[in-house]
């Protein structure tokens, strides 16, 4: 399938008839082919576009939009926001380098394993502050990448660090959630989520301390705020709801566990809960949330201990 066959319906079909699409295709064929050729060279790459490639794409894209807006069948029906949301996902696509290297670097930053990252705090999600941080702490980030990424990914990062991080921390004047910086913000939310998961693996389900609970709730709320502020999660409001529910459940988990065990003390005799962690709860809890059940703690406990409970019934 040709690229323009993928791109055009997203932009035009909500407003234009088939005849209008044909008119625009014919009138703007040169601009369309140029735009798609540039997009093809970027979208098939293992690496995200750097500044010059991004600039080239946005310029060819704008020329196509200018041409389309001049056609009689479409005059008065297009607006800037519609144009901006049809950027072929070039800026917000997660490229293999993003997934296999930069995301892992961000996870290392947020888990605090490197002393050189301790002063960053929440500033990375402020693009203005992040721009300065990545410039001043270049050696720190490159060290993390060297320890974390594949050699070829580290080489790309090392050679293009300034260019890439300037693009990822750029705050466009007009933003319709189509820019590399929007993707970079979302990647930070995903890194925070990974941090929640890592912390959950360390907390015993039955013997969590108040400081453990406080820490994981704080991490989870930070992730919740991040997803709320990331425009790319506008396309997935259910994810925001699930993250909030997860945080709420973490916060009430100790009291819910106490209540369940007070009413069902025999559960303490089972092995099912002895080695269970908050991560085990997290994995089972997602099924509960998606099923829109009320008491996820009881749901998870019943799932985890189902075999031992049934064995007890067989012995009766």
What's the pLDDT score for residue 102? 97
Whether residues 62 and 105 share a domain: the answer is no
Phi, psi of 204 (to 5 degrees): -70, 140
Whether residues 197 and 285 share a domain: the answer is yes
- Which residue, of 143, 162, 185, is where some domain finishes? 185
Whether residues 244 and 175 share a domain: the answer is no
Whether residues 26 and 11 share a domain: the answer is yes
- How far apart, in whole angstroms, are the C-alpha atoms of residue 81 and residue 89? 15
Whether residues 215 and 315 share a domain: the answer is yes
Whether residues 203 and 274 share a domain: the answer is yes
With a pLDDT cut of 70, the percent of the chain lying above it is 85
- How far apart, in whole angstroms, are the C-alpha atoms of residue 221 and residue 215? 10
Whether residues 74 and 95 share a domain: the answer is no
Domain range enclosing 226: 193-316
Whether residues 116 and 233 share a domain: the answer is no
Domain count along the chain:
3
By the 8 A CB rule, do 86 and 11 touch?
yes
pTM for this predicted structure: 0.83
What's the pLDDT score for residue 245? 87
Task: Tell me what the mean pLDDT of segment 156-175 comes to.
Answer: 91
Whether residues 217 and 273 share a domain: the answer is yes
pLDDT digits (tens, 9 = 90+) for 69-93: 787 776 655 544 444 434 578 999 9
Whether residues 218 and 310 share a domain: the answer is yes
User: Cα dihedral sign for 216, 219, 222, 224?
Assistant: negative
Residues 6+ positions from 206 with CB-CB distance below 8 Å: 257, 268, 273, 274, 276
Whether residues 13 and 112 share a domain: the answer is no
- Both tokens assigned to 230: 């990331």
């Amino acid at each position: 399938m040709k690229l323009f066959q993928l791109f055009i319906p997203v932009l035009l079909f909500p407003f234009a008839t088939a005849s209008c699409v044909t008119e625009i295709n014919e009138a703007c064929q040169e601009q369309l082919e140029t735009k798609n050729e540039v997009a093809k060279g970027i979208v098939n790459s293992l690496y995200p576009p750097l500044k010059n490639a991004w600039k080239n794409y946005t310029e060819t894209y704008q020329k196509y939009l200018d041409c389309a807006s001049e056609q009689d069948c479409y005059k008065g029906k297009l607006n800037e926001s519609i144009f901006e949301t049809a950027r072929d996902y070039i800026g917000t696509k997660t490229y293999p380098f993003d997934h296999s290297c930069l995301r892992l670097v961000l996870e290392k930053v947020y888990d605090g394993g490197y002393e050189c990252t301790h002063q960053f705090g929440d500033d990375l999600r402020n693009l203005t502050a992040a721009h300065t941080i990545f410039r001043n702490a270049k050696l720190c980030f490159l060290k993390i990448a060297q320890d974390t990424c594949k050699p070829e990914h580290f080489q790309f990062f090392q050679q293009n660090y300034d260019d890439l991080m300037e693009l990822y921390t750029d705050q466009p004047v007009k933003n319709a959630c189509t820019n590399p910086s929007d993707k970079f913000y979302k990647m930070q939310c995903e890194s925070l989520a990974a941090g929640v998961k890592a912390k959950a693996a360390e907390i015993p389900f039955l013997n969590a301390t108040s400081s453990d609970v406080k820490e994981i709730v704080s991490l989870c709320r930070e992730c919740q705020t991040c997803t709320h502020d990331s425009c790319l999660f506008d396309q997935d409001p259910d994810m925001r709801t699930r993250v909030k529910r997860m945080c709420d459940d973490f916060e009430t988990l100790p009291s819910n566990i106490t209540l369940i065990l007070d009413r069902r003390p025999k559960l303490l005799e089972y092995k099912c809960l002895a080695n269970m962690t908050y991560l085990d709860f997290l994995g089972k809890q997602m099924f509960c949330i998606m099923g829109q059940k009320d008491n996820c703690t009881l749901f998870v406990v019943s799932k985890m201990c189902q075999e031992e409970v049934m064995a007890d019934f067989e012995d009766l």
